[in-house]
Amino acid sequence: MAINVILNLAVTLALLAFMITQQRKNASFTVRVFSGLGLGVLLGAGLQAIYGAASPELKTTTDYLDIIGTGYVKLLQMIIMPLIMVSIIGAILKLRNASSLGKISALTIGTLIATTIVAAGIGILMAKVYGLSAVGITANAAEAARGAYLQGKLGDAQAINLPGMLISFIPANPFLDLTGGRKTSTIAVVIFSIFIGISAIGIHDKKPELFASFDHFIKVAHAIVMRMVTLVLRLTPYGVYALMAVLVASSSYADILKLISFVLASYSALILMFCVHLALVSAAGLHPLRYVQKIFPLLAFAFTSRSSAGAIPMSVQTQTRRLGTSEGIANFAASFGATIGQNGCAGIYPAMLAVMIAPTVGVDPFTAAFIAPLLAIIAIGSVGVAGVGGGATFAALIVLSSMNLPVALAGLLISIEPLIDMGRTALNVSGSVTAGALTSRVLGETDMAVFNSNAELGEETDAGQDSKAA
């Protein structure tokens, strides 16, 4: 191993040691996530400034950093399906009311899709304000290759339709879906868990002893899974640190500057839509500044990991332990939000791309005849978008092909895709949390004492689990 790589790893470990010291000194969870974010940016920028983005030393160093960053994301992915399953079943056993389940589902999904339509409208507005257009933009070799790849995926996107997508939610093989083997596995596991919960309620009166045994089993399983979530979430600052360092170190600043208008337009739209989320929770009676403070660690993780699905465990914990959202609603919002109605990936991004590409085929994108079908297609296409990297690309393919626009031009943005995807993912997760908070408030399920408390995520989680164990 080259001496430069050893020195890089020594610096990396020294910064990790500093963060471990912060934890031992009982620094708050939010402060440690902030530290991880900032130190990751400094390390990544420093490595690229010294070696350059294409250097072998940098590549080797980021490979080792990936052990921490990608390893952390995989640990979160490991607990997603068990968490969804035991939490949804447990919530239904507590509800024992099918009408309440229907209200939760309708409000959550309705909010997700409605906010995605609003997000698309904001994306169209920002494309107009920044004058985005693909006319005259030339593609380099990488962008042309990306365009060809997207063209090859066009058939898969055109084969998607709403009836087919809804059918894909049905878990024909729940054991396959428990492995996450399909793009819609998350929703399929939710549906399978609902069937288990409803079936268990059905034997409550007929076989009370069996029901009591099953209820106890679910409570034990829930306690163990939540303890696993606690253990993994303790690693969040270190995961954020490594993920951010790798991203910054491998970014091409020249490519970012070349497409700076799209970057600025995207983040302007993302910020405006986040303000819409804050307005909604404020209208529901939650203080917006306190709300932001409580969800910041979750958004920081989503921003650096670029995985809406990977954020599900932390989202559930944030909603229940920090916002006071009931556990059943939190699980529905986090699970559905990772696949349905993603405000960033399925709303803003495809809308901006459509407006940007339309002029290349002589279409005026700022007419009612273009915007109305665009919003309708985005609303329908937002159902079933995968909550992992690449979901936005698939959503864009569906929208562009449905609007008869050239999909290959979407490859022009490959160089800034990671930078844009960070903000999109954070907004996706913010949208799912907003849906959960609104649903919980409307149904009167929010514990305001929890929302108004000042305890940190890690401290609350530990305390909650310890008290339950006792």
Question: Mind giving me the DSSP string for 336-355?
Answer: HHTTB--IIIIIIHHHHHHH
Tokens of 141: 């070799």
In this predicted structure, the answer to whether residue 461 has a pLDDT above a threshold of 50 is no
How many other C-beta atoms are found inside a 10 Å radius of the C-beta of residue 51? Answer: 18
Fold of 97-206+252-469: Proton glutamate symport protein (1.10.3860)
**CA–CA separation, 101 and 127 (whole Å):** 39
| CB-facing half-sphere around the CA of 27: CA atoms within 13 A | 16
Specify the pLDDT at position 462.
40
- Say whether 340 sits in a helix, a strand or coil: strand
3-state secondary structure of 363: coil
pLDDT, tens digit, for every residue of 17-56? 999 999 899 888 888 988 999 999 999 999 998 988 788 8
- CA distances in angstroms from 291 to 285, 298, 438, 459, listed in the order given: 11, 12, 12, 17
Q: Alpha-carbon distance 86 to 26, whole Å?
A: 31
pLDDT band at 466 (very low <50, low <70, confident <90, very high): very low
452 by Cβ neighbours in 10 Å (0-12 / 13-18 / 19+) ranks as exposed
Distance of CA 167 to the CA centre of its chain: 23
Q: How confident is the model over 433-454, as a mean pLDDT?
A: 93
Q: Say which residue, 407 or 20, is predicted with more confidence.
A: 20
The answer to whether 264 and 419 have CB atoms below 8 angstroms apart is no
pLDDT higher than 80, residue 295: yes
User: Which of the residue ranges 36-40, 191-195, 347-351, 461-465 would you say has the lowest mean pLDDT?
Assistant: 461-465
pLDDT recorded at residue 151: 61
Given a cut of 50, whether residue 463 has pLDDT beyond it is: no
184 contacts 339 by C-beta, under 8 angstroms: yes
Instruction: Please tell me the pTM assigned to this model.
Output: 0.80
3-state secondary structure of 383: strand
Interatomic CA distance for residues 27 and 16, integer angstroms = 14
Mean of pLDDT over the chain: 85
pLDDT tens per residue across span 304-343: 888 888 888 999 999 999 999 988 899 889 988 887 888 9
Query: What is the reported pLDDT for 46?
Result: 93
Q: How many CB atoms lie within 10 A of CB 97?
A: 11
CA angle 265–266–268, rounded 5-degree value: 65
**DSSP 8-state class, residue 205:** T
Contact 340, 114 (CB under 8 A): no
167 confidence band (pLDDT: 50, 70, 90): confident
pLDDT: is 466 or 101 the higher one? 101
Q: Where are the alpha helices (DSSP H) in 251-363?
A: 253-258, 260-283, 288-305, 312-318, 327-337, 349-357
Q: Which two tokens stand for residue 380?
A: 């329908």
Q: Angle at Cα 92 formed by Cα 86 and Cα 96, nearest 5°?
A: 150
CA distance linking residue 127 with residue 125, whole number of Å: 5
Question: Across residues 245-272, what is the average pLDDT?
Answer: 86
Residue range 85-108, pLDDT digits in tens: 998 888 888 766 666 778 888 999
Are residues 91 and 197 in contact, defined by beta-carbon separation less than 8 angstroms? yes
Checking if the pLDDT of 464 tops 50, the result is no
Torsion on CA atoms 260, 264, 265, 266, rounded to nearest 10? 100
Question: What CA–CA distance (Å, rounded) separates 330 from 327?
Answer: 5
Query: Residue 383 pairs with which residues in a beta bridge?
Result: 340
The Cα 458–Cα 234 span in angstroms is 7
Sequence-ordered list of residues with C-beta below 8 angstroms from that of 7, at least 6 positions apart, any chain: none
Closest among 277, 267, 230 to 83, alpha carbons compared = 230
Write the DSSP assignment of 204-230 as a string of letters.
TTT-HHHHHHHHHHHHHHHHHHHHHHH
Over residues 227-244, the pLDDT tens digits come to 888 888 889 999 999 999
Q: Look at 448 and 102; give whichever has higher pLDDT.
A: 448
pLDDT tier at 460, thresholds 50, 70, 90: very low
CA-to-CA separations, 47 to 8, 34, 85, in angstroms, rounded: 8, 20, 42
Query: In Å, what is the CA distance from 225 to each residue of 86, 231, 330, 415?
Result: 8, 10, 16, 39
Please provide the distance, in angstroms rounded to a whole number, between the alpha carbons at the two ends of the chain: 50
Query: Could you read off the pLDDT of 129-166 as tens digits, one per residue?
Result: 999 888 755 555 555 555 565 566 556 555 566 677 78
